[in-house]
Structure 1
Amino acid sequence: MSADRHPLVAFIGATTAAIPPASAAFAEHFPEATLWNVLDDRLITEAVAAGGLTPPLAARMGALVRYAVEAGADGVLLTCSMYGPVAHELGAGGDVPIYASDDAAFDDVVSAGYERVILLSSLPEALRDAEERFALFARERSGAPRVTGVLAADAFAAAASGDTAAVTDALASAVLSAEPADAVLLAQYSLAPAAARLAERLGLPVMAGPPRAAARMRQALLGTRP
């Protein structure tokens, strides 16, 4: 990457609902980046229909990642949490940073010192996937909090339609019906626009992946945080 141009960061997505929160986070935390959206909007629906990530779907996502890198992307961010394993496989040892959607958020949750965290999702498949990935992540680190997965199914359609107020209502209802926790971690980018409202409603820290991913990508590509 030459110093005289803005880094090109490719968002590889499975739903259009993830694009606005990712773009907003990069505008705030990595404004130097040039953003490129690469979308296959069947990846999420087919993963849900299959009950999770399958080898053919992983291969399809992998092809998109390789396409972005070969076309000149300086960094790649997968904005769909269910495809995190693809990012880990392709990003290991490579020159181009390839990040799963919530790796940086997982880091922050562990380092914050919380004892109990609610992991919140609008899809059962995404929730199960996030729980499994956080469990693997936590095994390698001391002081990881106890995480409780909570499903807010009513938030899915609201997020797809861009109704942030309805998303907030659905998420708040789900959290309030669960055991008390110290913080909330949103498992999907499509829920991120509700983070600030939800934090105000609950009186708890609410962590969302996009801002933390943007800061991490900036650190990787420019060596600094904003």
Structure 2
Amino acid sequence: MQEQARTKFFVSYCIFISSKTIWVSVMRIYLIHAVMAAMGPVQQEIHRAWPEAEAFNLLDDSLEVDRTDPQSNTSERIQALAHYAIQQGASGILFTCSAFGEAVEKAASATDIPVLKPNEAMFHQAIEQGGRVAMVATFEPAIAGMEREFLEIKQRQDSDAVLAIFCVPEARQALQSGDQERHDQLVAEKISDLVGFDAIMLAHFSTSSAKNKAQGVTDSLVLTSPGAAVAMLKRQVLKNRPYDPVQLSS
């Protein structure tokens, strides 16, 4: 029974075939980050919504700094991180930095396992909601790619959603200096000025910490990336992953 308990801790789903054999699917999920602030929110969501998955972190915090340098090959580095995760037996990969959408798409096209951009699940939620949607960002270089991705999903879904984008760079600066409370307050202050929106998206994984403050100053639905992304990745991994037989002792 101890062996069985240990096995069930590391599996996402199991089916008993006989008293000594089960079919299991071991889930190794790789979370790839460009900023440390994104790690906490997604780890918390994994533990809450998918505790049976094994989650591992890959961090290269020079990516954000190097993004504007054409000689830094950030796209190739993003793809190399995904390739490394696949070599380690990843069942699924979630990128948490919103500034590298095109590079993540290239990484996803090179493998059969689910590879998600950080915001696509949240964008689907907002577009299904429809109406006027605001996106509050703190990192301006990420905005153009995120807007493109949102509009592409909107077109595919033939939605009436209308997107308005706002940026609070001072909040990013506060977060980089280690002042998360100030970051959250600045994001909430911006949201308190927004009226007439059906949904408000917090653009980055790192801004999800402001959700409670943000929801407290608006009647609009406040959406964050970690919850939606983990739920989508879980669905895709469970659909994609085969089951393997494991022998149990009597």
Q: Which residue of 1 aligns with 2:205?
A: 189
Cα distance in structure 2, aligned partners of 1:136 and 1:77 = 20
**CA positional deviation for 1:147:** 0.5
Pick the aligned partner of 2:98 from 67, 81, 89: 81
Cα distance in structure 1, aligned partners of 2:181 and 2:219 = 17
Residues 129 and 54 of structure 1: is their aligned pair in 2 closer, same or farther, counting only changes over 3 Å? farther
Q: Which residue of 1 aligns with 2:214?
A: 198
* Per-residue Cα deviation, 1:75-120 (whole angstroms, up to 9, x for no partner): 10011011122222222373211110011111111112x3111111
Pick the aligned partner of 2:161 from 121, 127, 145: 145
Q: What secondary structure sits across from 2:90 in the alignment?
A: coil
Q: Which has the larger radius of gyration?
A: 2
Q: What secondary structure sits across from 1:82 in the alignment?
A: coil
1:95 aligns with 2:106: no
The 10-residue stretch of structure 1 (151-160 or 99-108) with the greater mean CA deviation from structure 2: 151-160
The 10-residue stretch of structure 1 (78-87 or 37-46) with the greater mean CA deviation from structure 2: 78-87
Cα distance in structure 1, aligned partners of 2:225 and 2:113 = 20
Pick the aligned partner of 2:175 from 159, 175, 195: 159
Cα distance in structure 2, aligned partners of 1:54 and 1:29 = 39
Cα distance in structure 2, aligned partners of 1:70 and 1:119 = 35
Counterpart of 1:32 in structure 2: which amino acid? E
Q: Which residue of 2 aligns with 1:117?
A: 133
Structure-to-structure mapping, 1:20-59, within 5 angstroms = 20-47=40-67, 49-50=68-69, 56-59=73-76
* Per-residue Cα deviation, 1:132-162 (whole angstroms, up to 9, x for no partner): 2212222222124111110011210333355
**CA positional deviation for 1:54:** 8.1
Q: What secondary structure sits across from 2:127 in the alignment?
A: helix
The 10-residue stretch of structure 1 (195-204 or 97-106) with the greater mean CA deviation from structure 2: 195-204
Note the aligned Cα RMSD (angstroms).
2.3
Cα distance in structure 1, aligned partners of 2:192 and 2:94 = 32
The 10-residue stretch of structure 1 (167-176 or 200-209) with the greater mean CA deviation from structure 2: 167-176
1:220 aligns with 2:236: yes
Q: Point out the structure with the larger strand share.
A: 2
Cα distance in structure 2, aligned partners of 1:168 and 1:99 = 26
Cα distance in structure 2, aligned partners of 1:34 and 1:161 = 31
* Per-residue Cα deviation, 1:176-213 (whole angstroms, up to 9, x for no partner): 44563121111111101111221122232111111011
Counterpart of 1:124 in structure 2: which amino acid? E
Q: In 1, are the aligned partners of 2:49 and 2:231 still within 8 Å (CA)?
A: yes
Which aligned runs of 4 or more in structure 1 are off by greater than 4 angstroms? none
Residues 121 and 157 of structure 1: is their aligned pair in 2 closer, same or farther, counting only changes over 3 Å? same
Q: Which residue of 1 aligns with 2:248?
A: none
Counterpart of 2:38 in structure 1: which amino acid? A
Q: Which residue of 2 aligns with 1:71?
A: 88
The runs of 5 or more residues in structure 1 that have no matched partner are none
Q: In 2, are the aligned partners of 1:78 and 1:84 still within 8 Å (CA)?
A: no
1:7 aligns with 2:27: yes
Count of equivalent residues: 219
Q: In 1, are the aligned partners of 2:119 and 2:203 still within 8 Å (CA)?
A: yes
Q: What secondary structure sits across from 2:99 in the alignment?
A: helix
Residues 66 and 93 of structure 1: is their aligned pair in 2 closer, same or farther, counting only changes over 3 Å? closer
